[in-house]
Amino acid sequence: MSSEAVTHVIDDDEAVRQSIEFLLRSAKMKVRTYESAGAFLAAVPGIASGCIVTDVRMPEMSGIDLLRRLKELRVALPVIVITGHGDVPLAVEAMKAGAADFIEKPFDDDAILGAIRAALADSASGGRRSAERAEIDERLESLSQRERQVLEGLVAGQPNKIIAHNLGISPRTVEIYRANVMSKMKAPSLSDLVRMALTAGLFE
């Protein structure tokens, strides 16, 4: 990881910005904060390396709009999107727009530090993602057809009852399939499962 790598934190909530800044500085990581996507974009010409952490819901320009603008500007820094609970479909949209990862609020320190370190490492050297994708593809191959259908429902942000209705099975059966999917995919959380599915290109 480059000693010059900086994590750029964008959030309209000052308390969130200060919390993440304090966490990263405590971990001896370089960080800059911005109160809006516009403020960050104004600083883009002077940014050479690092990663971006942005809230998905912001006034004026959302995190998803920011991702699209960065793509237009050919800014290749990895972007981690912060989402509120229940924003899984929004997170999926963000990852389709180019986000490297997403973290659900409330997040713990280890989760966001791990995501940032992985993004910085990915930014510094290519190749990790191709190895990761091969591993994810292998796990997907282990899923039964029904487990794959449940996975698709989860990634679409559907609750168990809707998945059950669509597949003609009971919500309890969906819970069992969901547990099997999480276990076979080695996904600690729903956000990890969604990230894996998108990394594998399942829902492009």
Mean pLDDT over 72-99 rounds to 80
Domains 6-126 and 130-199 share a fold: no
* 130-199 under CATH 1.10.10.10, yes or no: yes
pTM given for the model: 0.67
* Residue 3 confidence (pLDDT) above 60: no
pLDDT at 9 over 50: yes
The pLDDT score that the predictor gives to residue 1 is 42
187-191, long-range: CB < 8 A, 24+ apart: 189/104, 190/88, 190/104, 190/154, 191/88, 191/91, 191/102, 191/103, 191/104
Tell me the C-alpha distance between 169 and 167, whole Å.
6
Distance between CA atoms of 93 and 80, rounded to whole angstroms? 13
Q: How confident is the model at residue 26 (pLDDT cuts 50, 70, 90)?
A: very high
If you average pLDDT over residues 59-70, what whole number do you get?
90
3-state secondary structure at position 57: coil
**pLDDT over 80 at 48, yes or no:** no
Contacts 24+ apart (CB under 8 A), 21-29: 23/109, 23/112, 23/113, 24/113, 24/116, 27/113, 29/116
pLDDT of residue 194: 83
> In this predicted model, which residue has the larger pLDDT, 35 or 60?
35
Convert the pLDDT of each residue in 147-168 to its tens digit: 999 999 988 888 899 999 999 9
Q: What is the reported pLDDT for 2? A: 43
CA quadruple 153, 116, 62, 18: dihedral sign: positive
Taking the domains of the chain in order of start, what are their residue ranges? 6-126, 130-199
Residue 114 and residue 192 in contact, taking contact as beta carbons nearer than 8 Å? no
pLDDT at 23: 94
Instruction: Give the pLDDT band (50/70/90) at residue 127.
Output: very low
* CA within 13 Å, CB half, 44: 20
Q: What is the pLDDT of residue 197?
A: 84
pLDDT bin (cut points 50, 70, 90) of residue 129 is: low
Residue 130's pLDDT is: 56
Give first-to-last CA distance, the chain, whole Å.
Answer: 30
The tokens of 165 are what?
Answer: 């209705």
The one-letter amino acid code at 123 reads S
Q: Higher model confidence: residue 25 or residue 74?
A: 25
Greater confidence (190 vs 185) lies with 185
Mean pLDDT of the chain: 86
Give the domain 6-126 fold.
Rossmann fold (3.40.50)
Higher pLDDT, 198 or 118: 118
